[in-house]
Amino acid sequence: MQQHALLLVTLCLSFSSWVFAQDDMAYLLGPGDKIIIQVYGEEELKIETQLTDSGKINYPFLGEIAAKGLTIKQLESRIYTGLKGDFFIEPNVFVGMVEYRPFFIHGEVKAPGGFPYKPGMTVNQAVALAGGLTERASREKIFITREANKSKQENANLNTKVNAGDTITIDQRFF
């Protein structure tokens, strides 16, 4: 009997660490993201909002909530905790992504600018959204400045993953 209990505890701990690891890899909210928040059965608490430059949102009853750096699930939990007790017995909170913040691409592409981010996007897909490479574009001199560290430019290639808020630079090649 003790072996079964020990196995069950071990499995639970393993599963919970896997869940937390999955949550850590999840998309983190940032300024410019547009989200929808709903509380089941409470139509007046349904809002669609965009995170401000400070990464905050305003929500009824709770006021200003810092959402920057949180996952969708973490924000759901924060709203649930804020509403539970004072306002509701057991609120059923849903937070969903409406529109991701854009990424930016400039340099030797036909239509530089900001474009809607899609999860799993690569530099090659970003280039396609920007109309393709110009005739002078280098396939070796591709750089990404990550939103999280704007002072550091990383070397990239066409298969490099792009994140929301990133800036891609395609340099010229020398003939």
Q: How far apart are CA 12 and CA 144, in angstroms?
A: 40
Whether 27 and 113 share a structural domain: no
Whether 32 and 92 share a structural domain: yes
Residuewise pLDDT in 10s, the chain (175 residues): 444 433 333 434 333 333 333 333 589 999 999 999 999 999 999 999 999 999 999 999 999 999 999 999 999 999 999 999 877 999 999 999 999 999 999 999 999 999 999 999 999 999 999 999 999 999 999 999 998 888 899 999 999 999 999 999 999 988 6
Token pair listed for 97 = 């992504």
Whether 154 and 126 share a structural domain: yes
Whether 111 and 66 share a structural domain: no
pLDDT of residue 44: 93
pLDDT of residue 175: 67
Residue pair 164/117 in contact (Cβ under 8 Å)? The answer is: yes
CATH code for the domain of 137: 3.10.560.10
Whether 95 and 112 share a structural domain: no
pLDDT of residue 9: 39
Which of 38, 68, 99 corresponds to the end of one domain? 99
- Residue by residue, DSSP assigns 79-110 as HHHHHBTTTBSS--EEEEEEEPPPEEEEESBS
Residue pair 7/14 in contact (Cβ under 8 Å)? The answer is: no
Whether 30 and 56 share a structural domain: yes
* Helix, strand, coil shares, percent, the chain, to 5: 25, 35, 40
Token pair listed for 3 = 């072996």
Whether 77 and 117 share a structural domain: no
Which DSSP symbol is given to 29? P
Whether 36 and 60 share a structural domain: yes
Whether 125 and 148 share a structural domain: yes
Range of the domain at 137: 103-172
pLDDT of residue 169: 97
